[in-house]
Amino acid sequence: MPIRELILKKISEYQPKNGLDYIARFFISMASVRHGKVTGHIERVALLSEVVAKRLKMDAKAAFFAGLLHDVGKIILPYYLFDGHNINQEEYEEVKKHAILGSEALKCDYLFTGLCAGLHHAMYQKGYGLTVKDFPESLSPATIKKVLQISAIVSISDFIEAFTHRTTKIKDGSDKTGDDLKSMLYAKYLDDIQLVEEFPKIEFWS
Ligand SMILES: [Fe+2]
Ligand SMILES: [Fe+2]
């Protein structure tokens, strides 16, 4: 089954609350108009996040939607930042805004997914985006823990997808930490080594 068809099927079958299925479909449609490279990326990140969460007996549905919407902030920014060219430092500073922007766009109605969007680049060394200090005070410790776990899964999935599919340079300095994906992940996710270990088991190394 083509990946888009599979993604749309899963969006419908999961029946998320509060219209998140419509939001997810709309994001795919919006991204398809001018952010073509973003669509394949978010679809693959959603599937990888879902499969890892399932393996760990965590909330696969939450991981799927967090993966699918993690880069929603990109469509708020100019499309040429994501057209596949090697961006300069000034453009990278603009790109980095997508994490907070995505969180802002989602947080009113989809707080969990919005927090994951804000955190997906904050889960590794020298990352950026939201911090736990930005969380609403009303969140329970159990919810905070779940947000952090799912965000870590999405973040690692995001990096693996970028490493295996992107032809341009990854700008966060990861290339200086190792020669291959595995060593880069170990250097990048020092606090989540055990989680990183789960990924080889699903044969996503390349
Ligand atoms: Fe991102
Ligand atoms: Fe991403």
User: pLDDT by residue (tens digit) across 150-197?
Assistant: 999 999 999 999 998 888 777 787 777 777 888 999 999 999 999 999
Q: Which CATH class is domain 3-202?
A: mainly alpha
Tell me the pLDDT of the chain averaged across its residues.
Answer: 93
* pLDDT band with cut points at 50, 70 and 90 for residue 204: low
Query: Phi, psi at residue 169, to the nearest 5°?
Result: -70, 140
Per-residue CA distances from 90 to 87, 94, 136 (Å): 8, 7, 31
CA 117–ligand 1 middle distance (angstroms): 8
Residue 206 confidence (pLDDT): 44
CA 41–ligand 2 middle distance (angstroms): 7
Residue 167 confidence (pLDDT): 81
Q: Which ligand is nearest to the CA of 73?
A: 1
CA 167–ligand 1 middle distance (angstroms): 16
CA dist., res. 156 & res. 166, Å (int): 15
Tell me the average pLDDT across 36-61.
96
User: pLDDT by residue (tens digit) across 57-86?
Assistant: 999 999 999 999 999 999 999 999 999 899
CA 51–ligand 2 middle distance (angstroms): 17
Nearest to 144 by CA among 163, 130, 157: 130
pTM of the full predicted structure? Answer: 0.95
How much of the chain exceeds pLDDT 90, in percent?
83
Q: Which ligand is nearest to the CA of 172?
A: 1
Residue 123 confidence (pLDDT): 97
* pLDDT band with cut points at 50, 70 and 90 for residue 101: very high
C-alpha 148, offset from chain centre: 12
More confident site: 201 or 145: 145
Q: Where are the domains of the chain?
A: 3-202
CA dist., res. 98 & res. 71, Å (int): 7
CA 88–ligand 2 middle distance (angstroms): 18
